Amino acid sequence: MTPGLPRAEVVVDLDAVRHNVALLAGRATGAAVMTVVKADGYGHGAAPVARAALEAGASWLGVASLAEALALRAAGITAPVLSWLDLPGTDFSAGVGQGVDLSVSSEGELGRIAEAALRAGKRARVHLKIDTGLSRNGCPAYAWPELVKAASEETAVEVVAVWSHLACADEPGHPSIDDQARRFDTAYEIAREAGLEPLRHIANSAATLTRPDLHFDLVRPGIATYGLNPVPQPENLRPAMTFRSSVALTKRIEAGESVSYGHTWTAPRDTTLALVPVGYADGVPRTLSGRMSVWLGGSRRAVAGRVCMDQIVVDCGDDEPAVGAEVILFGPGTQGEPTAREWADTLGTIDYEIVTGMYRPRIERRYLQETP
Ligand SMILES: *Cc1c(COP(=O)(O)O)cnc(C)c1O
């Protein structure tokens, strides 16, 4: 292949990330912004996104595991980082040593982290997580007073925050949101009565956009950072990810010839086909076979037949795209190209899953406007 022609390439527009973070910071007046960069920045690249977000007004970072937090530290990022889901056996002392904030959902976890703090010779910074109704991570209400008491008496830890996570914030007006907010208030009051003065945080992207009353000290937007809108009303967000490839080969076929495995598509007329070297091993779901189009030569063109492991075939009619021409699989949608949201809607999933699925060894990543 000619050097420089993208085969399977994700382009991440970091100015879009900056725009989105600035928008979120503007909404969250009075609260700091923790940009969530778990799952390698939702498939966009954790460290470059983190740097862009910190430039644009975020002051915290959030990740799902200590390994993700330590990768940010190894990349030279010194901002506060919270890691929220680690198993027993994790080397918490490395986290404490590197100043990573750790979430605590149980007394067992508190004990393991306190022990690690003693080994590290440094107090651990912890965020006590209350389960207010998501019934996933977090301490159940019945165990909360004991956890708070233990944390307030444990000199090896500093309680930085009390926090929780919402189940239905992407459905504004859902009654569970107010219900979770009430339980969160109760949990916070119990912490105060135990003599703690923690920060509070509960808002994901959807609540950052729709529930200013739940911003408290810190908001934790993830998906909106990447320009994908989790709420029904329009928001001025810019999708940061474009997935592109190039035409590898073109050919004419006659009416009646069939295309790709299983011959599920037959040309209704003589037509030109363009071969594009991306497939399901590169994040093009095979279940999009017969249901997807790409942006090629200034218009949308249908993908003919099945998505293969390494290739798709585009029906170009009587147009003949140049070998090497750009093919956009999805992007922000500004030119008319498909979007991650469109793929998700077709597949019956959410755009979160589409973009996080783009973290693959065969996909090259390129950054626009990267922080030097
Ligand atoms: C992923 C996650 C977020 C961010 O959620 P978005 O819907 O992407 O904004 C916030 N908090 C926690 C605990 C999470 O797991």
**pLDDT tens, 33-63?**
999 999 999 999 999 999 999 999 999 999 9
Cα(204) to ligand 1 centroid in Å equals 5
36 lines ligand 1 (CB under 6 A): yes
| Two tokens, residue 47 | 């460290």
For residue range 26-35, list pLDDT tens digits in order.
999 899 999 9
Please give the annotated binding residues for substrate, written as ranges: 136, 309
CA-to-CA distance for 39 and 126, rounded, in angstroms?
A: 21
201 lines ligand 1 (CB under 6 A): no
Residue 363: name the closest of 4, 9, 51 by CA.
9
- Residue partners of 140: CB distance under 8 A and separation at least 6: 131
Residue 6: name the closest of 241, 324, 354 by CA.
324
Q: What is the pLDDT of residue 29?
A: 86
Mutate to test the pocket of ligand 1, among 204, 211, 215, 219 (most ligand atoms within 8 A of CB): 204
DSSP helix/strand/coil, 211? coil
Please give the annotated binding residues, written as ranges: 136, 309
Atom of ligand 1 nearest to the CA of 224: 9
CA-to-CA distance for 296 and 3, rounded, in angstroms?
A: 20
According to CATH, where is 3.20.20.10 located in the chain?
31-226
Q: Domain 31-226, what fold?
A: TIM Barrel (3.20.20)
Q: What is the pLDDT of residue 300?
A: 98
CA-to-CA distance for 26 and 189, rounded, in angstroms?
A: 28
Percent of the chain at pLDDT > 90 equals 98
Cα(63) to ligand 1 centroid in Å equals 9
Span 15-25, average pLDDT = 98
The sign of the torsion formed by the CA atoms of 146, 138, 214, 225 equals positive
DSSP helix/strand/coil, 138? coil
In this predicted structure, the answer to whether residue 341 has a pLDDT above a threshold of 90 is yes
81 lines ligand 1 (CB under 6 A): no
Span 244-256, average pLDDT = 98
User: What's the pLDDT band for 16 if we cut at 50, 70, 90?
Assistant: very high
Span 90-105, average pLDDT = 97
Atom of ligand 1 nearest to the CA of 220: 10
In this predicted structure, the answer to whether residue 372 has a pLDDT above a threshold of 80 is no
In this predicted structure, the answer to whether residue 315 has a pLDDT above a threshold of 50 is yes
In this predicted structure, the answer to whether residue 2 has a pLDDT above a threshold of 60 is no
For residue range 152-203, list pLDDT tens digits in order.
999 999 999 999 999 999 999 999 999 999 999 999 999 999 999 999 999 9
Atom of ligand 1 nearest to the CA of 36: 4
Taking the complete model, does pTM exceed 0.95, yes or no? yes
User: What's the pLDDT band for 4 if we cut at 50, 70, 90?
Assistant: confident
Alpha helices in the chain (DSSP H): 14-27, 38-42, 46-55, 66-74, 92-97, 107-120, 144-153, 175-193, 205-210, 340-347, 351-356
Span 116-131, average pLDDT = 97
271 lines ligand 1 (CB under 6 A): no
CATH class of segment(s) 241-368:
mainly beta
DSSP helix/strand/coil, 330? strand
In this predicted structure, the answer to whether residue 337 has a pLDDT above a threshold of 80 is yes
In this predicted structure, the answer to whether residue 292 has a pLDDT above a threshold of 80 is yes
Cα(343) to ligand 1 centroid in Å equals 21
Cα(10) to ligand 1 centroid in Å equals 23
Mutate to test the pocket of ligand 1, among 103, 220, 231, 352 (most ligand atoms within 8 A of CB): 220
Q: What is the pLDDT of residue 3?
A: 65
Rounded mean pLDDT of the chain? 97
Identity at 335, one-letter amino acid code? Q
In this predicted structure, the answer to whether residue 305 has a pLDDT above a threshold of 90 is yes
19, HSE (Cβ side, Cα atoms, 13 Å): 14
Contact 168, 124 (CB under 8 A): no
Q: How close are the terminal C-alpha atoms of the chain, in Å? A: 30
In this predicted structure, the answer to whether residue 1 has a pLDDT above a threshold of 50 is no
According to CATH, where is 2.40.37.10 located in the chain?
241-368
Cα(169) to ligand 1 centroid in Å equals 11
Q: What residue owns the CA closest to ligand 1's atom 12? A: 165
84 lines ligand 1 (CB under 6 A): yes
Query: ∠ at Cα 339 (215, 15), nearest 5°?
Result: 55
Span 12-16, average pLDDT = 98
CA-to-CA distance for 227 and 237, rounded, in angstroms?
A: 5
DSSP at 317: T
